[in-house]
Amino acid sequence: MRRPNHRVAGWKPFDGLECGRRTDNNCFLSLASRFRGWSTKKCYYLFAVFIVGCLLLHLSHTALQMNFRVDFLPTTSPTGGPFGSTYTIRVNTFRRNDMLKRFLGHFARCPNVQAIQVIWSDQGYDPPSLMDWAIPLSTQELSKVAFEVQPTDSLNNRFRALLPVPTPAVLSLDDDLVIPCETLDFAYSIWQAAPQSLVGFTPRLVTWDGETASGVVAGKKVTELEAGEGAGPGPGAAGSYRYLSSFKHVWWHGRYNVILTKCCFLHRDFLSLYFSSLTPEVLQYIDDRRNCEDIAMQFVVANHTRGAPPVWVQARFTDYGQKSGISQGEDHARERGACVGRLVKEFGSLCLTTTSLKAIDARRSWIW
């Protein structure tokens, strides 16, 4: 049947040919050929726009479907989960009162922080009077803060609780960190699911390096430990333990076996466990080097829990000490590698559990 030969602006009668200069009976092309003078390129362009349009329509449809009202029940049980809803901060500080001031001003406002114990190891100065500091906090917030005056300036004091710890959960922190209260609560909820683990924000990787007999050598291949392997090298093997001090190694390998105690949740029972597990010699070793108390705690916990993995909570926070602290430099990494060797001697093996677990707040992750 012949089509009537009428003309509409921009249209021409269908003749089964011609999309640009091409002739074929492809349905899409022939349809597009109804547009006068459109090239093949334009036909594909139109098709792409069509597909993207469909996708957007689908997404907006999904979004509309998702947009029904959800009445979330309270996210914590009436008693706040197995360990209650509050936790205790223990903060290590040393002659950085400006940092400490900022620290207290922030964390004392967090509603679920029940107490802040400032570990005062400074033998040269008495702790300040909070009233003199005039931190803008309410009386109730100020009353959370207590100074724990230590008789020595040992690094192990971080875990030496002289004041009673009022909650099962301890949040161990350095004074140069500022972490949003919400982020703390999220990490605390994860700790409630894994109270036998160190749950924190700063993962690190300790490995055995079979290629360096003497210590850290930049650029050398690192022989990684498989998860659960942990036994380290056989007796007499040449090599050394390496502490990979930078986060980039965790990022690259996607694995870690240490959570630093400068920023982690742990059970209060682990504080005394630290002193009952480690020999006076090891405690002295840590004192002498003013280093490695965090790695030692990871050993103590891993050994005590028979290999329960640490948990890394990924979150944004501010670390004011990152540039200036002692945690920089090759020497620091080498010394910590040596610490690992010393601890392996103590525990009989590299009993740390290597894991790739990462906990993320789903409300803050993109797309998935």
Backbone dihedral region for residue 155 (phi beyond 0: left; psi -120 to 50: alpha; all else: beta) = alpha
Q: Cβ–Cβ contacts within 10 Å for residue 58, how many?
A: 10
CA 89 to chain centre: 18
What is the footprint of ligand NAG within residues 301-340 (CB under 6 A)? 303
Closest approach, Cβ 276 to ligand NAG, in A, equals: 8
Closest approach, Cβ 310 to ligand NAG, in A, equals: 17
Give the C-alpha separation, 114 to 85, whole Å.
9
What single letter denotes the amino acid at residue 233?
A: P
Distance in angstroms (rounded) separating the CA atoms of residues 191 and 169? 8
User: Least CB distance from residue 71 to ligand NAG, whole Å?
Assistant: 47
The contacts of residue 47 (CB under 8 Å, 6+ apart) are: 28, 32
| Marked catalytic residue, from 126, 294, 331, 361 | 294
Other Cβ atoms closer than 10 A to 163:
15
Q: How many CA atoms lie less than 13 Å away from 365 in the CB half-sphere?
A: 9
Q: How far is CA 353 from CA 78, 246, 277, 301, 311, in A?
A: 34, 18, 18, 10, 11
Nearer to ligand NAG, 192 or 197 (CB): 197
Residue 315 or 340: the one with the smaller Cβ distance to ligand NAG is: 340
Instruction: Give least dist CB 303 to ligand NAG, A.
Output: 4
Q: Is 252 exposed, middle or buried (0-12, 13-18, 19+ CB in 10 A)?
A: exposed
Q: Which amino acid is at 259?
A: I
Q: What six digits make up the tokens of 24?
A: 């074929």
Query: Any contact of residue 120 with ligand NAG (CB under 6 A)?
Result: no
- Residue closer to ligand NAG, measured from CB, 202 or 277: 277
**Using rule CB under 6 A, residue 347 touches ligand NAG:** yes
Q: Rounded distance, CA 262 to CA 204, Å?
A: 12
Distance CA 158, CA 120 (A): 9
Report the residue number, 269 or 346, with the smaller CB distance to ligand NAG: 346
Comparison of 216 and 301: residue with beta carbon closer to ligand NAG? 301
CA dihedral 156, 161, 167, 173 (to 10 degrees): -40
> What x-and-dash track marks residues 260-279 binding ligand NAG by CB under 6 A?
-----------------x--
Catalytic residue status for 294: yes
Q: Of 179 and 301, which has the nearer Cβ to ligand NAG? A: 301
Whichever of 106 and 304 has its CB closer to ligand NAG, that residue is 304
Task: Tell me the torsion sign for CA atoms 38, 41, 42, 48.
Answer: positive
Tell me if 153 contacts ligand NAG by CB under 6 A: no
75 vs 63: CA distance, rounded Å: 24
Give the residue numbers annotated as catalytic, written as ranges. Answer: 294
Residues of this chain that bind ligand NAG (CB under 6 A): 277, 303, 346-347
